[in-house]
Structure 1
């Protein structure tokens, strides 16, 4: 009984009745077409005229289903009334030819089944109730009352009449349940995502992941570098707190300056989260600020540059700054304040090459849970610009970071 009159069956029955209501405007137009070439007072009430109008209505409904907005309306109704899980149906208007054809097929099937079930729902229950009352209402036994071909005056017919009427109602519920189940089975096929929809969804997910990865890299490189420098300076100040007040004062000033600048960089990164699609992304630091970074990075750095940095586009300059910042953070984190780094930048007409060397620590570096994101971020930055990056110990007992960034890449922004 649940299959015929349960909550899901009732909702699907309602969905079919809505389909019958949607069919009515097309059916009325079909009746006008039938009446235009048929004559006679009974043309609109004859079964032939109604079936002909029904046949005219379905192609008109199919054309309506080709409009892009037909799919989201059908999807919303199917989700709420047919019990289809949200992940099995497509989102948004039908943009491609294949999606529009599928949506048109669904609307045609919906209104066709809905028209039949709605007609049966309107006609059959009163007739079935009339049949069930035959043994109890003598006037109903006249053939003119129910439109039956014979007069119902035989005792065995009257005895079976209530069961016949009940069977009609059960058959109606069965037809509605079967039609609703058919719609539910066809919904994922006709209203589900097409290959183009899946590709578009995958591209949206990839774009979202790219934004998240960019934010993660920016936060890791800017905030991570600042925290490494602040931690080192605070530790050095603590060790000489009583013996060298002047050094402590300088360390505190450096900590204050580092945190102030980092807050500014953090605001720029968080601005990416607040901006709309049409807003321009905030600029991050570029190679123009590299001298200032080297002055406050916490370790002495020998810096040389060859070529003209003015040739470097802003997108490449921003990524080169972040790569140098992360390389210096690693040198500071693993080597301490006593380490000394060498940074070389070479710019020609094709690419920027960045090399950072620092001595390997005398003891193995501590393994941090979740560590290694900085080196992965360096590689991601280089690859996004069409370049490459590698890092590791060399034969001279030094850690070397090398990155090559093309100055012009088809996919990059030139800002």
Structure 2
């Protein structure tokens, strides 16, 4: 409907025009309260608006020193100057901060905003009262009645042609309201916008969220990929064996692996729904035995060697180490099948060492897709983020090796 109206009338149909008008009228409250403290303000006619525009200034300057005032003004500006639904990132009102003042610069900008809002609000409020009154005076004069309203010149000689002037004050009021509202909406990001420190903090928080989401995506890849690989290997082995007993064991292993994958999926989804993920919910190296059992259930003969107090490892190292072992075993099952695997997890005083070895299929130098997949790259990335290093590739003895060394001292 509004699209068919002339552009000059379109603001009449927009709710934001009226919320901005309300925002400006509210600004006059401080002037009214302080103005009525003076006797003259109650009898000065149109001059009362001058009192309203000047008397509250010292009070507002003192109020700007209160850190919470910036939050109050920011909330009002967001609700009334730029109302409407916001996207998840808050971009619709990203230019207006709702944080309290943290520096004298913030307080100075808040003082400037309060002063601008007061003066613009008093001007708009005065016109909101006087211009409709003037339209009524013109209408009375057009009807042949003399009019004398406080603050307006008296019309001593009424005439019908005054009727032509009736719409003029209302048009002027409409133009002033739209213009003043647009002015306040443009000034709000300048005077109430986030400081450089706030923008930096917001950017860092957003970066942390993106990194956390990327990490969860990697974990889902590792966990679900491991479960699917084990299930595929188990199903293929059961079909080839043709044994009811082996098939039952394979189905039990698939069921257990699927249950663990569902737990990991639920954990990841729960973390995504929370503002502050809880890393303690993630599996650690103390639970590595379930990975080994999963590989054994898929048909691999797993030889494991554990050394050192794994339960005392720093949380980030233990959790990331678990995922590295999981991905290394998944890589073995995916590219080499149910072959013998050697796993060594050794926690020393300064270093955690992880090693997964398996014979190369068919004597090939590199398993198909081995070093090109996301999994091995993820192992190297995890190690680098912890200040360690990871080596993946074929050894001289015809085995594929994944070796990881992670420092403990700096994280302990």
With over 3 angstroms needed to count, the CA separation of the structure-2 counterparts of 1:211 and 1:11, relative to structure 1, is closer
Q: Where do 1:116-135 residues align within 5 Å?
A: 116-131=123-138, 133-135=140-142
Q: Distance in 1 between matches of 2:149 and 2:343?
A: 104
Q: Is the partner of 1:94 in helix, strand or coil?
A: coil
Equivalent-residue separation in structure 2 for 1:186 and 1:194 (angstroms):
15
8 Å contact 1:343–1:355 — kept in the other structure?
yes
Write the deviation string for residues 10-59 of structure 1: whole angstroms up to 9, x where unpaired.
74355234422342244321442x44xxxxx6874155564144212244
**Counterparts of 1:266 and 1:320, CA distance in 2:** 21
Write the distance in 1 (CA, Å) between the matches of 2:406 and 2:328. Answer: 15
Q: 1:5 to 1:212 in 2, by over 3 A?
A: closer
Match of 1:252 in 2: 248
**Which blocks of at least 5 consecutive residues in structure 2 are unaligned?**
1-5
- Aligned residue pairs: how many? 390
Aligned position for 1:287: 285
Cα deviation, residue 352, structure 1: 0.7
Match of 2:21 in 1: 16
Q: Which residue is 1:38 aligned to? A: none
Q: Which structure 2 residues correspond to residues 63-82 of structure 1 after superposition, within 5 A?
A: 63-64=62-63, 66=67, 67=69, 68-80=71-83
> Residues of 1 paired with 2:171 and 2:310: CA distance?
84
CA contact (8 A) 2:120 2:180 kept: yes
Higher Cα radius of gyration: 1
Displacement of 1:360 in angstroms is 3.8
TM, length-normalised to structure 1: 0.76
3-state SS of the aligned residue for 2:56? helix
Indicate how the Cα distance of structure 1 residues 390 and 106 shifts in structure 2: closer, same or farther if over 3 A, else same: farther
**Which residue in the other structure is 2:337 paired with?**
336
Larger RCO (CA under 8 A, 6+ residues apart): 1
Task: Please state whether the residue corresponding to 2:401 is helix, strand or coil.
Answer: strand
The runs of 5 or more residues in structure 1 that have no matched partner are 36-40
Question: Deviation of residue 73 (structure 1)?
Answer: 2.4
**CA 1:25/1:321 → structure 2, altered by over 3 Å: closer, same or farther?**
closer
Comparing 212-221 with 321-330, greater Cα deviation is found at 212-221
The offset of 1:269, in angstroms, is: 5.2
Over the aligned positions, Cα root-mean-square deviation in angstroms equals 3.9
Q: Secondary structure at the match of 1:353?
A: strand
Secondary structure of 1:134's partner?
helix
Aligned to 1:345: 345
Q: Distance in 2 between matches of 1:150 and 1:303?
A: 103
